[in-house]
């Protein structure tokens, strides 16, 4: 914010970010200077509990002081029937704020037990969409999705991985090794930080840890 007068943040969903988002809401942040984007979103009606934005509203936005100013919000239009058009619309929104190609200051990502991240899942056509900032996916676990592309993730100034749970242990090992056969392993590693809990790391002492790659 000191350098650019604003902070461009993209958040993922899932179970892991909840405690982090609630802690962030307690920080003395200059929220009017924050633009809040999404890394991915399920194609579901607004307010649906499966939507990542619903959880962001509960864990972060709902925990902010209602009398104070909040961030500038950019939810993905994943309720639209034409997801390809929705992806193009969100790309325009992203480029209007973050430039062309868009450069986000921080993208927070999770990790699936199958090695997916955001909604870049194994075998999906969206993996090859390097020419667009945002892509629509094929159905995955019952839902189509919108997701930031590898190109947008690669351009981010910082990527923050948040990985929790023993079921992620094998995928985390492959991520740390930069395994390109899983989508997460293809995300640019030069400006990435990994935070993982003890279960994901496999530490018997119960201590979580972090790792930085620069």
CATH topology of domain 7-158: Rossmann fold (3.40.50)
pLDDT the model gives residue 14: 77
pLDDT at residue 214 tops 60: no
Extract the runs of DSSP E, i.e. beta strands, from the chain: 7-11, 34-38, 40-42, 72-73, 106-109, 134-136, 145-148, 159-163, 192-196, 209-213
Q: Is the pLDDT of residue 89 over 90?
A: yes
Question: How does pLDDT run across 146-177, given as a tens digit for each residue?
Answer: 999 999 999 999 999 999 999 999 999 999 99
Matching residue, tokens 């955001």: 118
For residue 16, pLDDT beyond 90: no
Biggest CA–CA distance in the chain, Å, is 49
**Contact 49/21 with Cβ under 8 angstroms?**
no
pLDDT tens digits, one per residue of 90-129: 999 999 999 999 999 999 999 999 999 999 999 999 999 9
- Cβ count near 19 (within 10 Å): 12
Could you tell me the pTM of the whole model?
Answer: 0.92
DSSP H or E run through 149: none
Average pLDDT value for the chain: 92
Mean pLDDT (whole number) for 194-211 = 76
Q: Report whether pLDDT(212) > 60.
A: no
On the question of pLDDT at 11 being above 80, the answer is yes
**Radius of gyration over every alpha carbon of the chain, rounded to an integer in angstroms:** 16
At 18-75, the pLDDT tens digits run: 999 999 999 999 999 999 999 999 999 999 999 999 999 999 999 998 888 899 999 9
């Amino acid at each position: 914010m000191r350098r650019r007068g604003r902070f461009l943040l993209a958040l993922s969903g899932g179970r892991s970010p909840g405690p982090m988002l609630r802690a962030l809401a307690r920080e003395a942040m200059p929220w009017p200077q924050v633009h809040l984007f999404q890394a991915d979103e399920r194609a579901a009606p607004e307010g649906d509990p499966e939507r990542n934005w619903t959880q962001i509203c509960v864990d972060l936005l709902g925990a902010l002081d209602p009398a104070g100013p909040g961030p500038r919000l950019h939810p993905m239009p994943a309720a639209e029937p034409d997801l390809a058009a929705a992806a193009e619309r969100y790309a325009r929104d992203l480029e209007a704020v973050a430039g062309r190609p868009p450069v986000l200051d921080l993208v927070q990502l999770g990790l699936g037990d199958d090695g997916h991240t955001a909604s870049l899942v194994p075998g999906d056509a969206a993996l090859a969409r390097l020419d667009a900032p945002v892509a629509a996916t094929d159905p995955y676990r019952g839902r189509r999705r919108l997701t930031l592309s590898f190109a947008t993730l690669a351009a981010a100034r910082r990527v923050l991985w948040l990985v929790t749970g023993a079921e992620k242990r094998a995928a985390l090992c492959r991520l740390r090794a930069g395994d390109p056969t899983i989508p997460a392993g293809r995300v640019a590693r030069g400006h990435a930080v990994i935070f993982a809990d003890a279960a994901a790391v496999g530490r018997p002492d119960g201590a979580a840890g972090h790792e930085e790659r620069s």
